[in-house]
A and B are shown apart, each in its own frame.
Chain A
Amino acid sequence: MHELSIALSIVDLAAEEAERRGVKVNAVHLRLGPLAGVVKDALLFSYDLACEGTPLDKSRLIIEEVPVMVHCSRCETDREPISLQDLRCSVCGDPTYEIVQGREMEIAALEVE
């Protein structure tokens, strides 16, 4: 499980950003893709631990799950695949070779006061 180390780095980044802006963080908004290799529940659990004793103590973690998108060359556009286990275009059924979205792991925003 590497979610704790990831949670720690999120807390670090957010604390740094908060200090620079002179604000207090109430919540951290993440964008997380299913192909990031990070388990959402484990991250939520680790986050509370990671916050303890930091300026982010008692802050919330809000995770927006970003869907996987692939480029379909037959449809000539980005589509959702059938599933993570079946990377074919959900519209025309062609196999797709390029993942254009779904690896995201980023802090999108901070809720501050």
Chain B
Amino acid sequence: MMSGPRLVEVRQKFLKQNDLLARALREWFRRAGVYVVSLVSSPGSGKTAFLERTLHDFARRHSVAALVGDLATENDAQRLRRSGARVRQITTGTVCHLDAAMIERALEDWRLEELDFLFIENVGNLVCPASYDLGEELRFVLMSVTEGEDKPLKYPTIFNTADVTVLTKIDLATAVEFDLEAAKETIRAVRPGMLIFEVSAKTGAGMIECWRYLEERRNEARAGSALSA
């Protein structure tokens, strides 16, 4: 029988595969007791520098590891390995973001139970990573003082998928006449109530506050899962 054109309702999320896998990863991370934090930012905002210091110093108190996404090079992973922490590079080739399948593959042979924290450095890009859930518990968006105060206005979506803003390279703030209050106002216009840290990976300023926050969040998460277990 022939019939003319008609509309059939479908309702299919088109990143459903990624969402489902991310959900499975999140459950795996929770069972293993590892707290997973991802970092997104423009290229060069200081993700690797933030992690270098974190892997080096925070690792004295916790078992910490990292996955690093990069289009082509192993450089960031090599920088991070100097800390002695476990680091695996995910080379994405032409793909401008990490997705849940890449995370799953990278962790295949890991014993997550041995870790307290896992950090994931996404590809430097403020657009594409916004669409992909990686199963992380927290997403940090980094923004350096050298980028100007209005980044959030240009990329509201990434600020809205992140949980925390980290203002980086704060040691350069005076030199580049960065207006901290204006930046905070802009961030909180795009994302009311957003938590903001100010750090310098170079001098170490503000890093302890970040780590303390991560410890608190991890303790909360563990208390929560102990209750529900």
Tell me whether A and B are bound partners: yes
| Interface residues in chain A, defined as those with a beta carbon under 8 Å from any beta carbon in chain B | 1-2, 5-6, 9-10, 13-14, 17, 21, 23, 26, 29-30, 34-39, 84-88, 95-97, 99, 105-113
Closest B residue to A10 using CB positions:
B14
How many whole Å from B163's CB to the nearest CB in chain A? Answer: 12
B47 contacts A by Cβ under 8 Å: no
Most buried by A among B9, B14, B17, B130: B14
Pick from B10, B156, B158: contact of A107, CB under 8 Å: B10
What chain A residues lie within 8 Å of B14 (beta carbons)?
A: 6, 9-10, 13, 30, 105-107
Closest B residue to A24 using CB positions:
B5
Contact across chains for B192 and A96 when beta carbons are under 8 A apart: yes
Contact across chains for B10 and A109 when beta carbons are under 8 A apart: yes
Beyond contacts A9-B15, A37-B130, A106-B13: 15 other A-B pairs, Cβ-Cβ < 8 A, are A2-B95, A9-B14, A17-B12, A36-B131, A36-B157, A37-B158, A84-B157, A84-B190, A86-B189, A87-B189, A87-B191, A95-B188, A97-B192, A97-B193, A111-B6
Residues A113 and B17 in contact in the complex (CB < 8 Å), given A85-B156, A85-B189: no
What chain B residues lie within 8 Å of A110 (beta carbons)?
A: 7-8, 10
A105 to B191, CA, bound (A): 21
A94 to B163, CA, bound (A): 20
Contact across chains for B192 and A95 when beta carbons are under 8 A apart: yes
How many whole Å from B177's CB to the nearest CB in chain A? Answer: 22
A1 to B191, CA, bound (A): 24
How many whole Å from B158's CB to the nearest CB in chain A? Answer: 7
Q: Is the interface of A mostly helix, strand, loop or mixed?
A: mixed
Residues A107 and B192 in contact in the complex (CB < 8 Å), given A1-B96, A37-B158, A112-B5: no
How many whole Å from B144's CB to the nearest CB in chain A? Answer: 20
Which residues 55-78 of B sit at the A interface, judged by CB distance below 8 A?
none
Contact across chains for B12 and A2 when beta carbons are under 8 A apart: no
B152 contacts A by Cβ under 8 Å: yes
Contact across chains for A34 and B193 when beta carbons are under 8 A apart: no
B115 contacts A by Cβ under 8 Å: no
Residues A17 and B189 in contact in the complex (CB < 8 Å), given A2-B97, A85-B153, A112-B5: no
How many whole Å from A55's CB to the nearest CB in chain B? Answer: 16
How many whole Å from B133's CB to the nearest CB in chain A? Answer: 11
Contact across chains for B156 and A105 when beta carbons are under 8 A apart: no
What chain B residues lie within 8 Å of A87 (beta carbons)?
A: 189-192
Pick from A23, A88, A106: contact of B11, CB under 8 Å: A106
A26 to B4, CA, bound (A): 11
A108 to B167, CA, bound (A): 39
How many whole Å from B71's CB to the nearest CB in chain A? Answer: 12
Contact across chains for A37 and B161 when beta carbons are under 8 A apart: yes
What chain A residues lie within 8 Å of B12 (beta carbons)?
A: 13, 17, 106-107
Closest B residue to A104 using CB positions:
B13
